[in-house]
Amino acid sequence: MTILPKLLTAHTTIASMSGFINLIIIITNSSDDDDHDDDDDDDDDDGLWQDLANRWHEVKQLVPDRDQTLHNELLRQQNNERLRRAFAQKANVVGQWIERHLDAIASAAVQKGKLEDQLTRLRAIDKEVAAFRPSFDELERYNHEIQEAMIFDNRHTPYTMEVGGT
């Protein structure tokens, strides 16, 4: 997002020069009324200034299109950053929750004791997972939006959602 502000500044500069360039073209065209010794040079100058005026007119017509394009890009980048932050906020919570619960599952599996006690601990963990399911679903929605927006990096979190295939 670092180049967009520079493009917007350059675009604003070009757009603000419109009146100045128009004034130069008008002054130059009005000075053509003066008498000159060589009519061939006058014809060359007229063609040059007319070409300049035509090209400037083309540039002025492109300014609104460029303005809209830059505005759309700014909105797209702002939306992408909003998605990155929303995903990161949820992923940081879910990721840490998963890490804690994987440790609990692993410790329950290797602890010595009655099988019924281990099953009770695993059922309790299963209830916690079911209760946390809305957070997983919300994270999946953010991930889907990020994929649709083709966002490939997120400096706000180390977590990603990998989709396994068969």
Per-residue pLDDT tens digits for 120-155: 888 998 999 999 999 999 999 999 999 999 999 999
> Cα–Cα distance between 47 and 82 in angstroms, integer?
52
Q: What's the average model confidence in pLDDT over 80-88? A: 97
Give yes or no for residue 32 having a pLDDT over 60: no
7 falls in which pLDDT band (50, 70, 90)? Answer: confident
Give yes or no for residue 33 having a pLDDT over 60: no
- Strand ranges (E), 17-147: none
> Cα–Cα distance between 39 and 116 in angstroms, integer?
109
SS3 of 155, please? coil
Instruction: Return the CA Rg of the chain.
Output: 32
Looking at residue 118, its amino acid is: Q
CB 55 within 8 A of CB 47: no
pLDDT tens for residues 40-66? Answer: 555 666 677 778 778 878 877 888 888
